[in-house]
Amino acid sequence: MSAARSMRKKYIPSTALKIVLCIFWLFAIILPLIRMLSTMATVDVGQVLSTAKFARALGHSLLVTAVATVISVCLAGLLAWCVARTNIKHKALLNTLLIVPMLIPSISHGMGLIIILGSNGWISRIIGLQNGIYGFWGIVIGSVMYSFPVAYLMIYDVLHYEDGTPYEAGNVMGLSVKDKFFAITLPYLRKPLISVIFATFTMVITDYGVPLMVGGKFTTLPVMMYQDVIGMLDFGKGSVIGMIMLIPAIIACVIDMANRDKGNANFVGKPYTIKKNVARDNVARIICILTIILIFLPIASFAVLGFINKYPIDMAFSFKNLNQAVHMGAMKYLRNSVIIAVVVSILGTALALVNAYMTARNKTKLSYVLHLMSITSLAIPGLVLGLSYVMFFKSTPIYGTFAILFLVNAMHFFASPYLMAYNTFGKINENLEDVGSTMGIGRWGIIKDVILPQSFGTILEMMSYFFINCMMTISAVSFLANVSDKPLALMITQFEGQMQLECAAFVSLLILAVNVLLKVVIYFIKKATNKSN
Amino acid sequence: MEKLEVKGLSKSFGHSEVLHDISFSVHDGEFLSILGPSGCGKTTILRILIGLESAEKGMILKDGVDITNLPSAKRKMGIVFQNYALFENMSVLKNVQYALLKSTSTKDSFNKEQAAQKAKEMLELVDLSEHLDKKPRQLSGGQQQRVAIARTLALNPDVILFDEPMSALDVDTRLSLRGELKELQKRFGTTMIYITHDQEEAFAMSDRIMVMDSGVIQQLDTPSNIVDHPANDYVKRFVIQNINIKINSLIQFARTEDKTE
């Protein structure tokens, strides 16, 4: 029937776009991964996996990750409770301060730890710690510092938005505090908590910045992979380890997906009412202040270390490290980083918006494929993605240019901003395009004039996420950058190799400063737009 | 000539047939309700009438012209959704003004000021003059629905479709909105097709009611004829019993009130 045919015509452009996007994903994620995995045909996988060194690294990784995850999530839970469930003052400020560690690279956390608790660390000297905190505990502490803010943010959101009505019902029924915790809070927290645990686990097990710095002889899988590829150029062995690293990340990702609530629970309730309890508030205040001091200890140490002559021999104030870093090209690398961060935040956000529109507001069978592709990056560690890209794009013209760094970063950090857009688009009235088309306002008109303006806050968040992560990342880019396009964060690894901790501290500060600046700019843009609305 | 004529409409989603050989016509200026339980196919009819969905079989004539393959925007019809589908980022005034400026049917006849003027007039009709600069979320549900109605009316359609527009509203708001809707219909002479699962609403507002179940029309007649001569058991059960129950409970309620006094 011709009616059906003419109607089908409407869908052709969006189907074509979806197919183009699928082809893009094929080349940006799937084929590079296959290329990396295919090298295993040339390597004796069994032999790599059966070495004592590998078994040790695997054991180390699992152990460190398990311990760090438990500590990080417990600490995050405690802090989230302190801020969300007490009448403590300055909650917005506390929330900002507690997530500052998210603005520096993981390797800087490792370095901060060395400055404080290394063999020459200033606290080590005070308390007489002889050999410093290298190895197991070093990695655990560094990983906690690095992953804590993410876990904190997730749990805080959950507690903050919890519906207060079940508690009121509980009070009417005369339940004790303990009963209410086990009957209401815990069941409510179970699902989100599983998500938090897996997010933290994935973050820690795939990270190589912290163990590279403070691991010493305690080698973990990512460090082993990094050394095999960078040090010995052994891509085959690197690929095998990469594949092994994919396994826990994929398992974590799948469990997390299965665990997630389907659809948007749009419950109407009332906020949790916090009772008056001065003693509890005081305890919470002390915990928050202590944590913030601990968080800022390494950052303050960078600030000191970045501006003294030579720790610990010559503690005089100087711009020597600044000059040294600038001399070694810090400004050029900073420029590289900013170029990468700006381009990726624009292109990555645009791509994420298009993808999310096609999966959230234009649902067809292809949408599921696109959705799956869009979230795969959650399960791919940066090092693995980087190595895949080296092997897949080696003989293409984009290899060795900025373009491949744009692409690898956009892909590496794609899932989170994509999910932000997906959720926002899903919540916007589903009939808008229909109402538009009956009025003779096309899909694009509705997107441009109604949907995008309504998503403005989300778009800012997405851009900021891409930007900050591009400024910090050292994993995927470490195999792909060269002298001319190297980003700033990679100078930290370089300085670390040359034992120039002061310069590395200065670079970490620089990254922190750029990211804080960005956050401030975003804050003011949001404030201005809220006012105009 | 009939305003709308629907001939032999059929539609399936996958293996389940949602509409089976539906034929009916709507007179000019009529208020027709389509009444049925959820899943009976009433919303699908609406979406096919306005061209958001296509039928596998059948034909739609408007003023005697075949519009079966016409794009939605060229059918000169409007639709009001249950969830209002307002432009949340725009003020009440801008919601209507934007529609006038962008719609293919009106954009050539209005400049910015004229569109604003026309929007104000439309919003005055639905009693929203005090709220022109507010955002939709600052309004009550009933007020939001009135914005949606004003926005639809502004484009001057000769048929307006309503997809359960009041089911999210409270009883008082429904009652007053019913009256306003009838008022607007009289004033503009627009043909209205109104979908609902609420028998009382259908009986209170309609010139004729089309009772549907499982994709088939059970009866299409005036309210009084449906009550006096229900076509089959289904109509009897679904329509009349429900209304009786409501009336009985009202009587019951009145009696207990009397006793307590």
Give per-residue pLDDT as tens, A505-518: 889 999 999 999 99
Mean pLDDT of A308-332: 84
- The better pLDDT of the pair A261, A244 is held by A244
Mean pLDDT of A132-151: 92
Provide the total of helices (H) and of strands (E) in chain B, helices listed first.
9, 10
Among the listed residues B81, B102, B79, the one whose alpha carbon sits nearest the alpha carbon of residue B90? B102
% of chain A with per-residue pLDDT over 70: 96
A199 part of a folded domain: yes
Mean pLDDT of A124-140: 86
| pLDDT of A321 higher than 90 | no
Q: Please give the pLDDT value at position A32.
A: 94
Q: Enumerate residues 6+ apart whose C-beta is below 8 A from A251.
A: none
Nearest-Å Rg of the Cα atoms of chain B is 20
Angle at A225 between CA A223 and CA A228, to 5 degrees: 110
Cβ-defined contacts of B170-179 (< 8 Å, 24+):
B170/B141, B173/B140, B173/B141, B173/B142, B174/B201, B176/B142, B177/B142, B177/B145, B177/B146, B178/B204, B178/B205
| pLDDT of A51 higher than 90 | no
A401 part of a folded domain: yes
Q: Please give the pLDDT value at position B260.
A: 56
Q: Which of A276, A306, A336 is the last residue of a domain?
A: A306
| pLDDT of A354 higher than 60 | yes
A27 part of a folded domain: no
Tell which of B13, B87, B104 to mutate to test the A interface (max A CBs under 10 Å). Answer: B87
Q: Which of A284, A306, A328 is the last residue of a domain?
A: A306
| pLDDT of B67 higher than 70 | yes
For residues A104 and A241, membership in a common domain is answered with yes
Q: Please give the pLDDT value at position A266.
A: 47
Rounded Cα distance between A274 and A284, Å, is 13
Q: For chain A, how far is it from start to end, CA to CA, in angstroms? A: 48
Is A439 in contact with B86 (Cβ distance < 8 A)? no
Rounded Cα distance between A88 and A79, Å, is 12
Is B86 in contact with A1 (Cβ distance < 8 A)? no
Which tens digit of pLDDT belongs to each residue from B120-143? Answer: 999 999 999 999 999 999 999 999
| pLDDT of B144 higher than 80 | yes
User: Which chain A residues have a beta carbon less than 8 Å from that of B87?
Assistant: 432, 449-450
Is A437 in contact with B72 (Cβ distance < 8 A)? yes
What's phi and psi for A95, nearest 5 deg?
-60, -40
- The better pLDDT of the pair A327, A464 is held by A464
For residues A299 and A314, membership in a common domain is answered with no
Pure H helices in A162-259: 165-173, 177-180, 186-206, 209-214, 221-226, 235-259
For residues A345 and A483, membership in a common domain is answered with yes
Exposed (0-12), middle (13-18) or buried (19+): which is B188, by Cβ within 10 Å? Answer: middle
For residues A200 and A348, membership in a common domain is answered with no
Tokens 């015509």 belong to residue: A9
Tally of structural domains, chain A? 2
Q: How many residues does chain B have?
A: 261
Provide the residue range defining the domain that includes A353. Answer: 310-533
Q: Which of A147-156, A370-379, A405-414 has the lowest mean pLDDT?
A: A370-379
A1 part of a folded domain: no
For residues A314 and A287, membership in a common domain is answered with no
For residues A140 and A94, membership in a common domain is answered with yes
| pLDDT of A351 higher than 90 | yes
Tell which of A431, A444, A454, A531 to mutate to test the B interface (max B CBs under 10 Å). Answer: A431
Rounded Cα distance between A439 and B146, Å, is 17
For residues A319 and A292, membership in a common domain is answered with no
Q: Which of A287, A306, A325 is the last residue of a domain?
A: A306
For residues A284 and A208, membership in a common domain is answered with yes
What's A418's domain CATH number?
Answer: 1.10.3720.10
A18 part of a folded domain: no
Mean pLDDT of B188-196: 94
User: Which chain B residues have a beta carbon less than 8 Å from that of A429?
Assistant: 83-86, 88
For residues A327 and A232, membership in a common domain is answered with no
CA torsion sign, A298 to A151 to A417 to A398?
positive
Q: Would you put residue A216 in left (φ > 0), alpha (ψ -120 to 50) or beta?
A: left
A190 part of a folded domain: yes
A20 part of a folded domain: no
DSSP-based three-state secondary structure for B109: helix
CA torsion sign, B165 to B170 to B174 to B176?
negative
Angle at A203 between CA A202 and CA A208, to 5 degrees: 115
Mean pLDDT of A122-140: 86
Q: Work out the minimum CA distance from B224 to partner chain A, whole angstroms.
A: 34
Cβ-defined contacts of A126-130 (< 8 Å, 24+):
none
A489 part of a folded domain: yes
**pLDDT bucket at A349, cuts 50 / 70 / 90:** very high
For residues A371 and A407, membership in a common domain is answered with yes
Q: The sheet that has B16-26: what strands, in order across it?
A: B16-26, B4-13, B57-62, B65-66
Measured torsion, CA atoms of residues A211, A215, A219, A224, in degrees rounded to the nearest 10: 40
In single-letter form, the type of residue at position B150 comes to: A
Mean pLDDT of B209-234: 92
For residues A81 and A174, membership in a common domain is answered with yes
For residues A298 and A346, membership in a common domain is answered with no
| pLDDT of B244 higher than 70 | yes
